[in-house]
Amino acid sequence: MSRIGRKAIPVPAGVTVNIDGQQVSVKGPKGELAAVLVDNVEISQGDDGISVNPRSSSKTDRSMWGMSRTVVSNLVNGVHEGFSKKLEINGVGYRAQLKGRTLVLNLGFSHDVEYAVPEGVDVACPVQTEIVISGIDKQKVGQVAAEIRAYRPPEPYKGKGVKYSDEYIFRKEGKKK
């Protein structure tokens, strides 16, 4: 049994949910999101919130149950509060700056890395060594953060590179004489 899927999704004030078959659209103060759920689950809206249930007790239906509930929950949280990820840049001369909708990264390469920020995602650089990515779509925010981190992932010897702010880098000892 899915322990996540059993919970009803509370709908905060100011958020409206429209369910049309497997299509779920959510509108809130930050914007509007929509998703199409798999056919293995059925979704309904009641007094306690939105509930997602499997159509049958087969393994595939039960495995889609918790995932579908989380997708709908992310839609509701996204239009109500939004999501954000924070990246830190470590290394001598490593820095980031924003030029319009382009993020320019100096990461020790012979050239600057230019990253075009996609629509629906906001990027801010409060400090040269910090990048804050925010938006209403959790998948897009995570994907942008992963793509920026992939340019120079942190290495274990000096810890240089781009890392998530809450990420722990397992440090290794260097060569011994």
Q: What is the pLDDT of residue 5?
A: 85
Domain boundary (80, 102, 132) is at 80
Domain boundary (31, 46, 80) is at 80
Show the DSSP H helices in the chain as ranges: 59-80, 138-150
Shared domain check, 149 and 93: yes
Q: Name residues of the chain where pLDDT drops below 50.
A: none
- From the list 80, 76, 77, 78, the residue with the least C-alpha distance to 24 is 76
Shared domain check, 124 and 76: no
Domain extent for 113? 83-164
Shared domain check, 56 and 41: yes
Q: What is the pTM of this model?
A: 0.89
Shared domain check, 88 and 52: no
Tens of pLDDT, residue by residue over 120-172, are: 999 999 999 999 999 999 999 999 999 999 999 999 999 899 999 999 999 99
10 in any annotated domain: no
| CATH number of 112's domain | 3.90.930.12
Shared domain check, 100 and 54: no
* SS3 of 97-121: EEECCEEEEECCCCCCEEEECCCCE
Q: What is the pLDDT of residue 54?
A: 93
**Number of structural domains found in the chain:** 2
Q: What is the pLDDT of residue 2?
A: 63
Q: What is the pLDDT of residue 175?
A: 87
Residues 6+ apart with CB under 8 A from 27: 15, 16, 18, 79
